Every structure is written in C-alpha cells, then in structure tokens.
Amino acid sequence: MSEKTVTMQLAEYSVADHWDTFTERDIQMTRLSYVDWVASAITGVTEESALKLMELAEEEHVSGDCVIIGQGKKTSPANAALINGTESHAIDFDDIHDFLSLHLCSPVLPAALAAAEYKKADGKSLINGTINGMQIMVALSAGIMPEHYNNGRWHATGTIGVFGAAAAAGAILELNPEQMCNAFGICAGLCCGIQLNFGTMAKPMAAGMAAKNGVMAAILASRGFTGRADIFDTDFLDNIATKKVDLNQIIERLKGGYGVHELRFKRYPCGAPTHSGIINCKKILAEHPHAIEDIEKIVFEPYPRAIRLVGNMDPQTGLQGKFSIGFTAAAQIVFGQVTIETFTDENVKNPQVQYLLPRMELVACDEFTPSRGGRATMYFKDGTSYTNSTYLLGHDLDLNEAEADVSGKYAEIMNARVGVEKAEKIYDFLMKLETLDSVTELSEVL
C-alpha cells in the first residue's frame, strides 16, 4: 500500500487527465454509453417521477445554464443532474453492469454533463471525467460489494454512484487532489438509496440524487467547502459494506482495466433480474406454440437474489410490474413483447395476465448467480412441458454488436419522441463527442 492515503490515491486518479491512455475502444464505449443514456433519459421525460421534480424546480425558481434533457428548459448544475439522472433511470431502461448490482451511467453521466456545461468544457474533458467517474465506482465496489448490496440492502447506484458523480465532476471542474478529497468527504454524508424503494418513484430518484450530490460536492469543494478529507481511510466503508474492507482491493481495481467496458445495455425497460424470464418464455412459445389457456403452470428458476428483488407475483401497478418476474413474463406471453408501453396499470389488470400470475412459481437456483440468468419450465394441460435457460452476463462484449443494439434501441426510442431529424442530429453529436470544442454544442440540441 502506498504511503498516501487511499482517499488521496482515489482523488488523484479522479482529477487526472488520462486522455493519452485512452484507446479508440475506450472512447467508443463512452460514446455508446452516452447514446444509450440519452435515449433512456428521453423515455423518462414524461414519467411522473421526473415531472414532479420539474414542478418542484419551477416552484423554487431554480435557474441556470444546464439543460434538462427533453424538456427544452435549463436549470442549475445540481438540479439538471438530479432531473436528468432521474429521467434516465425512471423506467429502468438504462445500462447495467456485467457483474455488479449497480448502474454506472445514471449517476455519472448527468453529473459529467452538468459539470461540463457549467465549466464550458470540451468533449475530451467530458469523456475523461466520465471514464474517471465510472472507474471510481468500480474501484469502490471492489472493496464493498456484494455485501453492501446483499447484506446492507443499499441501492448501490445511489450510494456508490455519488462518489463516481463527484469524481466525474471534479475532473471536469479541474479540482486539485486536496479539493477532491474534501468532495469525497462531503459525499459520504450524502450517499443515499435503499432497495426498499424499488417499485416506487424514489428508486430512480436515488440515481438522480447521486448525480446531484456529486456535482454539488465538487462545486462546493472547489470553493473551499470541507468534508472529511480521509473518508475512505476511516471506518466509513466498513460500516456501509457490513464487513472489514480490504483497501488494497480498491486500489488494485482502480489501476485495472477501465470500468466503462463492463457496461451492458438493456434489452427490456424493466428490472434486469426479470429479463431471463421474458427471454425464456419467448423462446419456449416460439418453438412450441400454445394458447394461453393451455398453460397449466410456469416454474421460474432465477438466481436467488432475483426473487428478493423482483419476486413480486401480485403487482398492483405498472411501476410494480417493472420489478415482477411474473408480470414481465406474462406480458411477453400475452402481448407478444415487452416495451416501454407495457407497464401500465391497465396491463397489470389484463384478464389473461391475471390468469397466468397465479400459475407461476419461483424456485431459487444458484447456478445462475454469475450470469444473473435463469431457467423456465412451461407445463401445458396436454401433459407436455418445455424448458429453456438463459445466461445473461459474464461474457465479453462484442463492440460491433453492442453498437448495433444501442443504435437500434436509440432509433426506436428517439425517432418516435423527438422526430427523425432531431434524433439523427443528437446521435451525430454523441458519436463525435471528443471533437466538441464546448459541450454546450451538444446540450443545445438535447
């Protein structure tokens, strides 16, 4: 271990300019993360959680030069980060991590964008800050996960995300290492997010609050505001990890490969642990078509934690349906697809959905823990049954396939909501981020 504190080592990394170390692949993954994140934010523009935050900002007459995505309005850096972060996580269509139970983009990217607008920074600075912020998140996760999530039951996107957001903003605002240490200390008193709020508006707001608090901490630290400047060298991490943390693991991961490559992009706009059920039911019925009334029983075998997170088999609202293995699978069977429009109260109450839900069972299967996948077996009244297994994560990302998937998802979302011409203009800016003299060129079209 270095003679420098762990907090100082994380701070120095956060505010450093790593541009000369980035490969084209690093930059392309960052571009794609912004494409996926902007599309996800646009889907959240009309969600009640984002609209209520907008109403509050207007009542408080918050002003500034930072864009609120899809709203045609501007506000302060902290408020823009809050609303944009909440928008992007509002329908759970944002990125997931390959093996950690958190999202990197929803806390880091809105903080980076707001800081870059505030600073009038260029595209290279935005990319550098974004990659740095993600790296701080994965480094801290190496020390405190999975216990922080599994035992503490924290919503890690919020609790760890605030430090990534602060690091991204700190790099862009050109904090010195001492100021960055203070920013981390400030964030320790502001980290928030609990799993008990899953299925409510407070869940996406945790990502927004991480972004907001990270930006605010960085700005305050730049003005001399202090926090515990050795926060990661105290028992703070032990407390939120519910274990004794090996600080060496954090530093080793900090110096490892860039966390941006551990991003994975979602196929469906709902909780990631539900995805295997959707895919399995779709494949079984594609190969063995049956009428809905011919289904006698469906047994799902997801990884154990999925049952705790998305095991609600009697959702009452569309929002609760996002975190229900039963509803999402039933929606695939009944409606033939799972889209943004699927998650309505009316669809939850659909008679065929209600027919299927009591006929579903959940059985934990640890075989699928590494991949966060699962198995489904569908039993029919004619005595036949069919099984399908899906392994979602834990394999290398094909960048060309990812680009095709993300651009397709982007077009599907954006063309219908902002029009083809504007969608293409935004996409062009996102795919040439590093060439922008000022990030405000991008924000003007958002």
Mean pLDDT for all residues in the chain: 95
Average pLDDT over residues 66-86: 96
Flag whether pLDDT at 118 surpasses 60: yes
List the single range of 4-8, 51-55, 95-99 with lowest mean pLDDT: 95-99
pLDDT for the residue numbered 395? 78
End-to-end CA distance of the chain: 44
Reported as a single tens digit per residue, the pLDDT across 342-399 is 999 999 999 999 999 999 999 999 999 888 899 999 999 999 999 999 998 887 888 9
Mean pLDDT value of segment 418-422: 97
Q: What average pLDDT does range 238-267 have in this prediction?
A: 96
**DSSP E strand stretches across 265-380:** 295-302, 360-362, 374-380
pLDDT at 384: 97
Tell whether the model's pLDDT for residue 99 goes beyond 90.
no
Give me the residue label for tokens 């902002």. 418
Please report, rounded to a whole number, the percentage of residues in the chain having pLDDT higher than 90: 89
How many beta carbons lie within 10 A of that of residue 284, not counting itself?
20
Average the pLDDT over 218-237 and give the result: 98
Is it true that the peptide bond before 370 is cis, omega within 30 degrees of 0?
A: no
Mean pLDDT of 213-231: 98
Distance, C-alpha 52 to centroid of its chain? 21
Rounded to whole angstroms, the Cα distance separating 50 from 380 reads 43
> Could you tell me the residue ranges of all domains in the chain?
6-266+398-443, 272-390
Residue 2 pLDDT grade (very low, low, confident, very high; cuts 50, 70, 90): low
Q: What contacts 24+ positions apart, CB below 8 Å, involve 378-384?
A: 378/281, 378/284, 378/285, 378/288, 378/295, 378/297, 378/298, 379/295, 379/296, 379/297, 379/298, 379/299, 380/290, 380/294, 380/295, 380/296, 381/294, 381/295, 381/296, 382/294, 384/288
CATH domain 272-390 topology: 60s Ribosomal Protein L30; Chain: A; (3.30.1330)
Q: How far is CA 256 from the centre of its chain?
A: 21
User: What phi and psi values does residue 96 have, to the nearest 5 degrees?
Assistant: -130, 170
pLDDT, tens only, 141-199: 999 999 999 999 999 999 999 999 999 999 999 999 999 999 999 999 999 999 999 98
Lowest mean pLDDT among 105-114, 129-138, 303-312: 303-312
Q: Can you give the pLDDT at residue 386?
A: 98
- Residue 233 pLDDT > 70, yes or no? yes
In one-letter notation, the amino acid at residue 127 is I
pTM comes to: 0.88
pLDDT(1) > 60: no
- The residue type of 132 is N
pLDDT of 45 over the 70 cut: yes
CATH architecture, range 6-266+398-443: Orthogonal Bundle (1.10)
Considering only CA atoms, give the Rg of the chain: 22
